[in-house]
Amino acid sequence: MDNKPTNAFTSLRLSPIRLGLSFGATGVVFYLACMLTMAIVPHAQALVLYNSMLHGFDVTPILRTSVPIGEAALGLIATFIGGGLAGSLIAGFHNLGLRKPA
């Protein structure tokens, strides 16, 4: 019987594809939540909300309430791709840092 102490986290490999898809899907959910917020909340209240979320950064000059469908679709796709790349890189770097079995 092997009496070596085991650490479950030393051999946990992450799948870059799965983590990338998870990050991308999460980003899309946040993007859709933001779109829904902009659709149902008055402009003044949206400004207060987003200024608060961004720690006082003033979003007044950049906050638009009407965005063309094409731009919104492109934003969804770009968010998914960016999140997917981020998740894949995180999983890849995590896997590089794992200890090799002795």
95 pLDDT above the threshold of 80: yes
pLDDT digit string, tens, across residues 7-61: 555 678 999 999 999 999 999 999 999 999 999 999 999 999 999 998 888 999 9
d(CA 43, CA 69): 19
Is 101 inside a domain boundary? no
Is 78 inside a domain boundary? yes
Whole-structure pTM value: 0.78
Q: Which domain holds residue 66?
A: 16-94
d(CA 74, CA 63): 17
Q: In the structure, what pLDDT confidence band is assigned to residue 4 with cuts at 50, 70 and 90?
A: low
Is 11 inside a domain boundary? no
CA-angle at 90, arms to 89 and 94, nearest 5°: 115
Is 6 inside a domain boundary? no
| Structural domain count of the chain | 1
